[in-house]
Amino acid sequence: MNIKRSRMSAEDRRTAILDVATELLSTHPWEEVTVALLLEAAGISKGGFYHHFTSKDDVLEAVLLRLTDASTAAGQDVYERSEGGAVARFTAYLEGTTRWELRHSDKIMGVIRIAMMEGNEAIFLKLEQEARRRATPVMRTLVAEGVREGAFDVVDIDMTVDLLQHAWRMRWVVLAHARERSAAGDLFGGETMLQERLHLEERMTNRLLGCTGAQVRMPRAGEFMDFLRPV
Amino acid sequence: MNIKRSRMSAEDRRTAILDVATELLSTHPWEEVTVALLLEAAGISKGGFYHHFTSKDDVLEAVLLRLTDASTAAGQDVYERSEGGAVARFTAYLEGTTRWELRHSDKIMGVIRIAMMEGNEAIFLKLEQEARRRATPVMRTLVAEGVREGAFDVVDIDMTVDLLQHAWRMRWVVLAHARERSAAGDLFGGETMLQERLHLEERMTNRLLGCTGAQVRMPRAGEFMDFLRPV
DNA sequence: TTACATACCGACGGTCGGTCGGTAATCAAG
DNA sequence: CTTGATTACCGACCGACCGTCGGTATGTAA
């Protein structure tokens, strides 16, 4: 009765299952991703599955972790390499993180699409929380240093960081729209959308930071041209 | 075999079930609130239950609706009754909504406690979304009018409204802490916490609105004294 | 070859949300 | 007071689901 299946190393099997789970998650809300479905798609038995994962939620957690952890080090790296005054460092941070995000835009858009799906509210929150947890410390020190140097004049450091992150959060939705538009032939329209959005964020960022002298700059829309012309 | 139960009017039974559900939800995450548990606590059979509700989620929706809908009209009312310049109207709006919230603080704190529980992420989002959906239109017009009158100088109306709501959102967490502290005997400490928070929010609100002349004012901490001395 | 570790199997158990045929209380009409 | 329709209510039952468990097959090291 037993059907023979391939035997993999634990790691390979794990990633194989995670791949399948990610794939399924990109088309179904998590509650519809049955373990049975997962088993069939991954070509493994229930026992085999539970040999590698303790529960269905364990899979979700692993999927989310894999989707986010690559970005962890990026922001920190940029910060550690940055030089100059607070404004320059903040600008460098913005450029660095944005560039990194653009390089991984497909993955990020995928994650966002998943998180935005109805029924995936818990995923959405977990993801946002995780992203925040990772970015907050660096941003806190950046802002605090700026305040100490007299370059920024903020209402409150924590509140400012929180609002900055919130202000930037919707960018990817705009990016998605812009990409759609340019994919539909209206490249100029897409670029304009992007430009306006970045300009808005730049002004809001400067207002929140209360820059006393030089202004923080967001990356120019030109940097996004590659992004607007997908594969 | 049949156990005799009381026969209620449809409405009474519905509210009875909703009461029980709210009660249970205040101590368990929603997924742990089994239909069976609900039935036992409400003293009704499964058939009876499904005679009044189409699904378990139907109950949740009704509970949330009942918890939020009372607040719907409040903000709108305050706005419609307000007079004077944009700054005065905005201040009146803040005072009005805050006062209303304080009058219903117990209920609101209850809702927040529920929404903040692990496993209730979907509830949290639904609630926030609903609150936003209700408050945004009024705030939009308030800000837009202020811009038109030249009293506000805003980066972008929608973004500003969004950030304002976000900035105010954490207030209830601080309120909860303040109440705890004053309940523990440190009335002064509680009041100070509140005062600082409100001062912070006031400064942030003014910065976001970019008030050109007069400043918008948050309610004074004195108004919260009743809140700090609970039943 | 033996002994052990581990990748894997699938029948099974228990729980859950939801259905359905039936019963009894209520009420309006004759 | 009947009679008939409506509706609140009952609980056995269903299928889908997640997770367990005893057991098998494949590798690896002594």
Which CATH number goes with the domain that contains B43? Answer: 1.10.10
Kindly report the number of other CB atoms within 10 A of residue B2's CB atom: 5
Instruction: Report, in ranges, which bases of strand D sit under 7 Å from a protein C-beta.
Output: 7-13, 16-27
Number of domains in chain A: 2
Does the beta-carbon distance from A208 to B203 stay under 8 Å?
A: no
Contact B155/A124, CB-based, under 8 Å? no
Q: What is the CATH number of the domain that holds B145?
A: 1.10.357
27-66 on B, CB < 7 Å from strand D = 43-48, 50-52
Q: Select from A156, A200, A207 the Cβ nearest to the Cβ of B200.
A: A156
Of the residues A52, A67, A82, the one at which a domain ends? A52
User: Sorting pLDDT into bands at 50, 70 and 90, what band is B32?
Assistant: very high
Same domain, B222 and B208: yes
The average pLDDT across A106-127 equals 83
Instruction: Quickly state the pLDDT bin for A75 (edges 50, 70, 90).
Output: low
* B2 within domain boundaries: no
Q: How confident is the model at residue A205 (pLDDT cuts 50, 70, 90)?
A: very high
What is the rounded CA–CA span in Å between residue B16 and residue B51?
14
For the stretch B148-181, what's the b/e string if a residue is b when 16 or more beta carbons lie within 10 angstroms of its beta carbon? eeebbebbbbebbbbbbbbbbeebbebbeebbeb
* B57 CA – D20 C1', rounded, Å: 29
DSSP annotation of B215 reads P
Is there a domain that residue B5 lies in? Answer: no
Lowest mean pLDDT among A21-30, B105-114, B212-221: B105-114
For residue B150, tell me if it sits in a domain. Answer: yes
Closest CA to D16 C1' — which residue?
A34
Residues of chain B in contact with residue A204, where contact means CB-CB under 8 angstroms, are 155-156, 159, 163
Is residue A22 domain-shared with residue A70, that is, in the same domain?
no
Contact A162 B166 (CB under 8 A): yes
In a domain, A117, yes or no: yes
Segments in chain A forming alpha helices (H): 10-25, 35-42, 46-52, 56-68, 72-81, 86-103, 105-116, 121-149, 157-169, 171-183, 187-209, 225-228
Interface mutation vs chain A, best among B30, B64, B127, B159, most A CBs within 10 Å:
B159
| Interatomic CA–C1' length for residue B11 and nucleotide C28, angstroms | 21
- Is pLDDT of A4 > 60? no
Q: Are B43 and B95 found together in one domain?
A: no
Structure-token pair, residue A229: 């012309």
**Angstrom distance, B9 CA to D4 C1':** 21
Mean predicted lDDT score pLDDT of chain B? 88
Asked whether strand D has any atom less than 7 Å from the CB of A54, the reply is yes
Share of chain B above pLDDT 90, in %: 54
Q: Identify all chain A residues contacting B168, using CB atoms and an 8 Å cutoff.
A: none
Region A37-59 average pLDDT = 94
**Residue B6 vs residue B44, higher pLDDT:** B44
- Tell whether the model's pLDDT for residue A65 goes beyond 90: no
Q: Which of A170, A174, A204, A206 to mutate to test the interface with B (most CBs of B within 10 A)?
A: A204
Name the burial class of residue A161, with classes exposed (0-12), middle (13-18) and buried (19+) by CB atoms within 10 angstroms of its CB.
buried
Same domain, A30 and A64: no
Distance from C-alpha of A136 to C-alpha of A165, rounded to nearest angstrom: 8
Highest mean pLDDT among A131-135, A203-207, B68-72 belongs to A203-207
Mean pLDDT over A12-21 rounds to 94
Q: Does B18 lie in the same domain as B128?
A: no
Does position A113 have pLDDT exceeding 90, yes or no? no
Cβ <8 Å between B163 and A162 = no
Q: Are A78 and A88 in contact (CB under 8 A)?
A: no
The spacing between the Cα labelled CA in B221 and the C1' in D27, in angstroms, equals 71
Q: For residues A49 and A13, what is the distance between their CA atoms, to the nearest angstrom?
A: 9
Residues written for chain B:
231
Q: How far is CA B226 from CA B117, B187, B189, in A?
A: 27, 11, 15
Compute the average pLDDT of residues A56-77: 81
The whole-number average pLDDT for the span B47-60 is 95
Are B144 and B138 a contacting pair, CB within 8 Å?
no
A191 alpha carbon, distance to own chain's centre: 21
- Let me know if residue A88 belongs to a domain: yes
Would you call B159 helix, strand, or coil by DSSP? helix
Please indicate, yes or no, whether residues B25 and B65 belong to a single structural domain of this protein: no
Distance CA A139, CA A151 (A): 15
Distance separating alpha carbons of residues B35 and A169, to the nearest angstrom:
37
Q: Which residue is nearest to nucleotide D23 (CA to C1')?
A: A47
Contact yes or no for A207 and B204 at CB 8 A? no
More confident residue, A107 or A3: A107
Q: For residue range B75-109, what is the model confidence (pLDDT) as tens digits?
A: 677 778 888 899 999 999 998 888 888 888 888 88
Q: Cβ contact (<8 Å) for A159 and B126?
A: no
- pLDDT reported for residue A1: 39
Chain B: residue whose CA lies nearest to A162: B167
Tell me the three state secondary structure of residue B208: helix
The answer to whether residue B94 is domain-embedded is: yes
Query: Residue A134 — pLDDT band, cuts 50, 70, 90?
Result: confident
Contact between B39 and B57 under an 8 Å Cβ cutoff? The reply is: no
User: Quick one: what percent of chain A has pLDDT higher than 70?
Assistant: 94
Mean pLDDT value across residues A39-57:
94
Taking the C1' atom of every nucleotide in all shown strands and the CA of B50, the nearest one is C18
Q: Is residue A186 part of a domain?
A: yes
- What average pLDDT does chain A have? 88
Q: Are residues A139 and A37 in the same domain?
A: no
Residue B69 predicted with pLDDT over 90 = no
Domain span at residue A95 reads 58-228
Half-sphere exposure of A219 (CA within 13 A, CB side): 19
Residue of B nearest to A210 (CA): B207
Same domain, B34 and B132: no
pTM as predicted? 0.85
Which of A124, A207, A210 comes nearest B155 by C-beta?
A207
A104 lies in the same domain as A172: yes
Task: Output B68 or A46, whichever has higher pLDDT.
Answer: A46
What is the average per-residue pLDDT within B184-193? 91
- The CA distance from A194 to A102, in Å, is 13
pLDDT at B213 over 90: no
A2 touches strand C (CB under 7 A): yes
Asked if A78 and A36 sit in the same domain, the reply is no
State the virtual CA torsion across A160, A165, A171, A173 in degrees, nearest 10: -130
Q: Decide if A1 is inside a domain.
A: no
Q: Are residues B143 and B91 in the same domain?
A: yes
Q: Give phi and psi for A33, each to the nearest 5.
A: -80, 85
C-beta separation of A101 from A108 below 8 A: yes
In this structure, the answer to whether residues B174 and B75 fall within a common structural domain is: yes
Q: Is the CB of A5 under 7 A from strand D?
A: no
Instruction: Taking residues A26-52, report their average pLDDT.
Output: 93
Q: Are B85 and B207 in contact (CB under 8 A)?
A: no
Collapsing DSSP states into helix, strand and coil, what is residue A140?
helix
Q: Is the CB of A45 under 7 A from strand C?
A: yes
- The pLDDT, as a whole number, for residue B24 is 93
